[in-house]
Structures are given as C-alpha cells and as structure tokens.
Structure 1
Amino acid sequence: MSVTGRKELITPPGIVAAKGKLPIVCLTAYTTPVATLVDPHCDLVLVGDSVGMVLHGMPSTLGVTLDMMILHGQAVRRGLKQALMVVDMPFGSYEESPEQAFRNAARVMAETGCAAVKLEGGEVMAPTIRHLTARGIPIMAHVGLTPQAVNAFGGYRVQGKGTDAERVIRDAAAVAEAGAFSVVLEKVPETLARRITGEVAIPTIGIGASPACDGQILVVDDMLGMFDAFRPKFVKRYAELAQLAGSAIETYAREVRTRRFPGPEHVFAEARQTTEGGSS
C-alpha cells in the first residue's frame, strides 16, 4: 500500500501529508522496465542525475546534461501509474538565477510529465525555490552531502559534523520555509537527521541519514547489486543481480561456443509443402 493509501497518482501535497505517518518509500529509476518494477511499491520515484554514473559510466554527476535528464525522465514516465515522479535538475541548469532555473525546470516538466523537480542546495537556493514554487513548480530539496558540490566538499564526505551541524540545520529550515514539499538529507550524522526531521514541517527523505526520517531513498542499482563502482556504507544490498547476470552471460557464451544454443526449440522448422505445391 502506498503512503497515501490510494491507487491513483500520488501528488506533492500527498507526500507532505505523509509527514510523521507511514514512512515514504523512494527509489531511483532511469528506464521504463525498472520504473514498471518499482511503481507498485514506491511512493516517490526519482529520476536522479546519478544516471550519469550508474548507466553512463561517468566519474560523478557533473557531466549530466538537461537533455539526458529529459530522455530518462520520458522513459520512466512510461513505466509509472501511481508513484510521484521527480526529476533531478543537473549541475549548471539552475544555479545561475531563479529565471534560468524556472526556464529549465518548466522544460523538464513539460517534456517528461514529471510532477516535481529536485535541486541541491540550502540557504543559497532558497530564493530560487521560492521563485519556482510561486510559479507552480513543486520542489524537492536536497541538503547535507550534495553530490554536485563534491569538488567543493573535497569528496563524498559526511556533512554536519560538530559545529557544521548548524549549517545543515539552517539549510533544511531555509528550503522548507521557501516552499519545498520535501527535503533529502544525505550522508549526515544520525542524531542530526533525527533533529532536523523533528524541526521542519516538510517530510525528510534520508539517504545515509536516520531511520527517524519521514522516508528513505536509495539508488536502485545500488540496492539491487547492479552497480559496483563503490559501495557506500548506507546502502543495503537486497540482491546481487550483477552476479546473477554475469553467471547467465557466462553460460550463454559457453553454450554458443559449444553449439548447444540455439537448440531445436529455438529455431524454425522448414515449411511443409501442400499437395498443390504451396506451403502450409
């Protein structure tokens, strides 16, 4: 059952209403088949810019373009019937000005059919979030470790330790006050995530945060064991599909080389001839 208890499409207000209730289930998706698989079980599906690393082999999310996000957003939209679809705004598509952000976010929504977009940043992005929400674009915010700022952070490091906790608290409060309908808390200390969840009025979605968050999100390829470039501590592997796929491919290759595949059941018999000389 979805967090809203309904079978129809989930909306941003529905996510907001779930604050403090049944935990919100979120996963990423980048293709139609995966979207079809996660849709019955998830409240929110994020077309994340992690697609650059997971599907395109990029070293970070910084090389992802708006066109890439739109292409994958369109694919995911075809596989969803119920879950709320959110598309990441890629690096460089919204930071310049609220006007730039609106122009690009409006394009993403129009061309993908998503219900909301996600952008990274706290206090500095509050004016942009306010500008977008006032113009009908629902925003999912993202604070703590923001991967698009990985170079500024000096790597994928835990954020909000010690005195830095106040910065993350201010960021979360700022995006909530600006009108975001939810906020991702990534790679922050558990106690900090728990405190923020209790203080902000919008749902918090944890990734490397706290079980006390209002919801949780993981990269689907991480939790299925399909992406092995690195294994963050906060990822639980619910399957090891890469191993299963590798084994299947090895078996296929062996059967092709030994002419065991294709077998008689995989080929077409010659057409039978009728007495009139035709085929049947």
Structure 2
Amino acid sequence: MTIDKNSTTDFGYKQVKTEEKEQLVAGVFHSVAQQYDIMNDLMSFGIHRLWKRFTIDASGARPGNKVLDLAGGTGDLTAKFSKIVGANGQVVLADINSSMLNVGRDKLRDLGVVGNVDYVQANAQALPFEDNTFDIVTIAFGLRNVTDKDEALRSIYRVLKPGGRLLVLEFSKPEHELLNKVYDFYSFNILPKMGDIVAKDGDSYEYLAESIRMHPDQETLKAMMETAGFEQTSYHNLTGGIVALHKGFKF
C-alpha cells in the first residue's frame, strides 16, 4: 500500500499524518502491555471476560479448526480456542505490537497453553498468510486502532476459507442516551486517572477512550464488512451497546 504523505487520519481526537498513526498506536501499546490485563479487569469491572466468552460461543469453533486471533494481545481468546480446536487444530495469535505479543506468549506458556498455538507479529492490513487459510478470524478490541479499517477487512476476507466467519468484538455506540452520558463521564474522567495510577500512563488511556468515540457505530461497521465482501452480516449489542459483536461469513 502506498500512503499519500499529505493524507491524515484520526489518532483519538487528533488528526495526524496517516503514515505516522501506526507508530503512535504502537507507542500506546508498548506503554500499557505489562498492565494490560489488570487494566482490562479494572476498567470493565471484569465484564470483558463475559464479552469474550460470548464471542467464543458465537464462533462455532470445533475440533480441528484453524483460528486466527488477530490483534490478540495477551491471548485471552487464544487460550480458549486452543482448548476447543484440540491437537488437530491450530490457533495463530497475531498482533502488530511486539510488546503485547511477548506478554501474550509468556502468559499462555505459563498457563500451559502449548502445542497448537503459533505467534506471529502481523499488520491486519497486510496479513502474511495464504488465501483461504482460516476457518475463523476474531479481532477483539483491535479494529479501532487499525489505520485503514477497510483494507484490514479485505485482508481478513482474503485469508478466510470459503464458509469461514469473522467476529469483530469492539466498543461501539450505547443504545440509550442516559447510558451514553454516564459512559462518557466514566471514559474521560475516571479511566485516564485509573490508567495514570495503575499503568503510569493516563495519556494512553485518554487516547483509548477517544479512539472508541471515533470508531464506526454498529450499522456503519456492518456496512463496511459487507463492502469488503462478507455476507449474512449481523451484530449483537452487549452491555447496552457499549460493546458490539459483529459477525460475517465468506461464501
């Protein structure tokens, strides 16, 4: 992909040169990697575990499947998929950020998750896999950080097998205005302070809150998936739409 050196894109609420966003996002996740799991539990009150369990249940994963856990970070989904697909299956934990990938690898090995898991540093916009490789691709809380989401969706579509499915678990647009106001207050007043205390980096968590607001809403993301080629697209709102699970198939 050739990037116009004059083009800009969002980095939270800021506009930055498109060619710079990847490195800026990398800086965020290099900074928060070591405290990422602790912060996930704190800032979601542990509910992220239920969102991920719902995603696993919706995946239809079964023994022998080949699964790509894209932007898989510290490997929560990979650990669960590893048990489901078994010795004849394979899970690839892929992340663009080396710090997150290293934390994920260490965590999963400490948990005894070995044998059917591979680790790959990869950019979602240019996945280093052959066409028609995976039965399932998941991307959980990662798509909003990708510079070109449309290109990433096309890349994912390419590496899925015919009949395969994509699941996108991501923060989205709350369904009710009162919930939206409460969520905004929490995101911009409490979350950065929590990040400052626990991860020693309030700025990164301020970016993460802003990136959620800049991410496409439920219907927009559904349309983007369809433009990339996915069929039978749908989404399910979780926790009042704070999070949504989008699903689409390649036929």
Q: Indicate whether the TM-score tops 0.5.
A: no
Structure of greater Rg: 1
Higher relative CO (CA 8 A, sep ≥ 6), structure 1 or 2?
2
Q: Flag the structure with higher helix content.
A: 2
* TM-score, length of structure 1 as denominator length: 0.28
* TM-score, length of structure 2 as denominator length: 0.31
Q: Flag the structure with higher strand content.
A: 2
